[in-house]
Amino acid sequence: MNFSGEHSQAESVQTAVIVVAAGSGTRLGRPERKAFAPLAGRPMLAHALDGIFALTEPVQLIVVAPDAELESARAIVAASAGPAVGYTSVVAGGASRQLSVAAGLAAVAPGVGIVLVHDAARALTPTAQFEAVIAAVRATRSGVIPALPVVDTIKRVDQGGAVRETVDRSELVAVQTPQGFVRAELDEAYADPAADFTDDAALLASFGHSVGTVAGDERAFKITTPWDLARAERLLAEAAPGAQMPSTASAPRVGTGVDVHAFSPEGDDAADAAPELWIAGLHWPGQRGLSGHSDGDVAVHAVCDALLAAASLGDIGGIFGTDDPRLAGAHGEVFLRETKRLVERAGFGIGNVSVQLLGNRPKLSPRRAEAEALLSGILGAPVSIAATTTDGLGFTGRGEGVAAIATALLLPA
């Protein structure tokens, strides 16, 4: 699809940029496909194209979109198009990222010698990063990827989560896009239908082609979770001319969280014994535990949901995942500390949290002060806990499970 109508311009283009926008993005928790989810009032794909349309060098743009979103993608490209892109195609993606890149590669015009592959989910990638990759591929005649140094301590763990060793991070980098390649080398790699790699650089390396790096950019982070989306919203708001602090962090925010867990069934023998009971961060010895992927702590889970809701970061299921094997049996402190970190990175401090437990057992009053002190210490803010029965009504009244309702107040940092 040629929006410019100038085939002669396409023939003079030396670089193509394939933007992969065919992913489902289930972890983002949006009804739309990820690239078409709204970001600061525009589809994420439109933001991803901004850095490309601002290039001074003319390039061919190829957007790879899901079959059902081809018309939407064409409309987004048409509305965003800039003078640097003289020839644009929108093509249908495949069942995997690699198949989608292959579909985009098939649409690259003859005569193009350099191909960049970019993820639409890295929507805030600046134009300078595209320019740096293009220049490096042109200078080295080899593949080039943007990379950032790894700043966190990295551990290697076994399937049970036990630490086996600390990995030397001095030789590690976090890889971003766009990844740039010599067109002939990329064609050769994608001619093998059996190849299966997580990124194009690994695919090229498997064919013996060298891949270098250029400095990445923090703004080119991948939008995967609701927290990532909120971070992108804030960055765009702060970058707007005359912008004040974004509204999400300019006033106190209140969130509500609810969680429910059933008591585990009684086992017939020691092998079928019910799990331990953990509520409000405390172990309750001698009592049958609650069912759940982690420790089933309804109070902690409700608090996390309340904090995340107040910060517009989604919910505990979207952030942590209900089937992550690393969280099997994890205790509440793990969730609380990570939730606190996310909320603070979103520009908030925790004002206070209130939790109401509903159930016949355990009896909270003898350990209320202990639970409040524990949770307050983890969150660095006052936490109050109350409990009530439901006078024999409902599943809590019948002793089948416990529910918790939490309310959290966040304050601008």
Q: What is the pLDDT of residues 381-404, one digit of tens each?
A: 999 999 998 888 888 878 888 999
pLDDT of residue 361: 86
259 is in an annotated binding site: yes
Express each pLDDT in 295-321 by its tens digit: 788 999 999 999 999 988 888 877 775
279 is in an annotated binding site: no
Determine the Cα–Cα distance for residues 130 and 146; give it in Å rounded to an integer: 9
Of 95, 87, 72, 69, nearest to 18 (Cα)? 87
In which residue ranges of the chain is pLDDT below 50?
Answer: 1-9, 243-248, 268-272
CATH class, range 7-224: alpha beta
225 is in an annotated binding site: no
Determine the Cα–Cα distance for residues 204 and 182; give it in Å rounded to an integer: 10
pLDDT of residue 303: 95
Question: Could you count the other beta carbons within 10 Å of the beta carbon of residue 407?
Answer: 19
Q: Which long-range contacts (CB under 8 A, 24 or more apart) does 282-288 make?
A: 282/367, 282/370, 282/371, 282/374, 284/362, 287/361, 287/362, 288/263, 288/264
**Two tokens, residue 339:** 């939730």
pLDDT of residue 109: 93
3 is in an annotated binding site: no
398 is in an annotated binding site: yes
331 is in an annotated binding site: no
Distance of CA 176 to the CA centre of its chain: 14
405 is in an annotated binding site: no
pLDDT of residue 120: 96
Q: Are strands 282-288 and 276-279 parallel, antiparallel or unpaired?
A: antiparallel
pLDDT of residue 398: 85
pLDDT of residue 195: 64
Of 83, 85, 65, 84, nearest to 73 (Cα)? 65
395 is in an annotated binding site: yes
Express each pLDDT in 180-209 by its tens digit: 999 999 999 888 766 677 788 888 888 889
Q: Are strands 211-215 and 143-149 parallel, antiparallel or unpaired?
A: parallel
47 is in an annotated binding site: no
- Give the 3-state DSSP-derived string for 223-267, with helices as H, strands as E and coil as C: CCCHHHHHHHHHHHHHHCCCCCCCHHHCCCEEEEEEEEEEECCCC
Determine the Cα–Cα distance for residues 294 and 185; give it in Å rounded to an integer: 47
pLDDT of residue 324: 54
113 contacts: CB under 8 Å, gap ≥ 6: 14, 15, 182, 183, 184
- Residues spanned by CATH 3.30.1330.50 within the chain? 250-412
CATH class, range 250-412: alpha beta
Q: Are strands 383-388 and 348-358 parallel, antiparallel or unpaired?
A: parallel
Determine the Cα–Cα distance for residues 231 and 294; give it in Å rounded to an integer: 27
Is pTM, for the whole model, over 0.75?
no
- Residues spanned by CATH 3.90.550.10 within the chain? 7-224
390 is in an annotated binding site: yes
261 is in an annotated binding site: yes
Question: Could you count the other beta carbons within 10 Å of the beta carbon of residue 315?
Answer: 17
Residue 407, sorted as left (phi over 0), alpha (psi -120 to 50) or beta, turns out to be: beta
212 is in an annotated binding site: no
